[in-house]
Amino acid sequence: MDRIRVLVVEDSLSVRKRLIEVLASDAAFEVIGEAENGQQAIEMCRALRPNVVTLDMHLPILDGVSATEHIMGHFPTPILIVSSSTNRGDLFKTYDALAAGAVDVLEKPTGEEPDGVWEKKFLSAVRLVSKIRVITHVRARLGGPGATRVESAPLTLATLPEHGRSVIALGASTGGPGALVEVLRRVPRGLPATVLIVLHIDEPFSSAFAEWLGNQTGHAVCYAVGGEALAPSGKGRVLMAPPGRHLVARAGRLALSSEAERHSCRPSVDVLFESLAAECARQTVACLLTGMGRDGASGLLALRRAGAYTIAQDEASSVIYGMPREAALLGAADSILALAEIGPAVARAAVKTGSPV
């Protein structure tokens, strides 16, 4: 069996040697190169074509975000971010890299883990990421000197037809940060609908995601605290399930739950979708975006059966065609759409003037 060829990118010599040592302990991996800055990472990735790159965010010459953008724009390679930075600014860089095409993020060892626990998690993450078929991200190419980005004209409230969907529910996992940005950028600000989001992203990397998503899209995004009225009052809002809590609709309001994980996930997309199916399906448009596993598929089916309008992202535009594929196989989606089509589709399904749930 072919070994998994890994490029390790880390500016700290001690950390870099530690990562290489852990990889060398498993015969399934072969470290084919090591880089200490972002420019070296790009050059070695181009020359060596590894199966996977482990990438630190803090790098000299070119940082991890710039390296990710270039790699994913020119020779797409699965990237696992390995980072110890959890302050607000560093988290924003991690989200930028995930939106630019990095597959996943893993916290560096703190030294407090039991022997072997972090090493096992690291090897498992590298193995999993290496199997992912990544797609080309053109962000780096579009951002170069003299480049012009052409986008379709944005929807406005005045251009939207009248429909009866006042709740928009979005679920995502791997590849989700970039997908959510794409969807929300195509949803008009001020649309009088409640947008609910469940994203699988592990702590401690999830704490500032809502703020970052708001900055990227122009929407006011915040974590739900529980008790919010489900029906929008005036302008709409975007609410996310907070780290480690399920988000559910109950008696016209939102609630948070610490009940057991579903599909090893808390928050779970299925938990939100199933609660909406019971509470307000006919007022809901729901979409299952890119992600690994099957969380959200059965919930999307429950919503469709109860009268919601349901969408699954297509394979070509998904970083991971796992969750939406499971939904498609179940017949849970009314429509299977490319990522660029999803924002306009959910916006058109939402109300223009607002109505109670």
CB 7 within 8 A of CB 71: no
> pLDDT digits over 276-330, tens only?
999 999 999 999 999 999 999 999 999 999 999 999 999 999 988 999 999 999 9
Q: Which residues of the chain have pLDDT under 50?
A: 139-162, 352-357
Token pair recorded at residue 144: 């170069």
Q: What are phi and psi of 337, to 5 degrees?
A: -125, 150
> Is residue 90 flagged as an active site residue?
no
In the prediction, which pLDDT does 90 show? 84
Catalytic residue among 85, 130, 166, 173: 173
What global pTM score does this model have? 0.85
Q: How many residues does the chain have?
A: 357
Q: Please, is 348 exposed, middle or buried when counting C-beta atoms within 10 Å of its C-beta (0-12, 13-18, 19+)? A: middle
> Is residue 173 flagged as an active site residue?
yes
In the prediction, which pLDDT does 164 show? 55
In the prediction, which pLDDT does 351 show? 59
In the prediction, which pLDDT does 151 show? 41
Any residues with CB less than 8 A from the CB of 240 and at least 6 apart, and which? 196, 197, 198, 199, 209, 210, 213, 221, 222, 223, 224, 247
> pLDDT digits over 141-159, tens only?
333 333 333 344 444 444 4
In the prediction, which pLDDT does 157 show? 40
To which H or E segment does residue 311 belong?
Answer: strand 309-313
Any residues with CB less than 8 A from the CB of 309 and at least 6 apart, and which? 165, 284, 285, 286, 334, 335, 349
Catalytic residue among 70, 137, 200, 219: 200
> Is residue 12 flagged as an active site residue?
no
Catalytic residue among 295, 314, 317, 334: 295
**Helix crossing, 88-99 with 64-74: angle to 10°?**
0
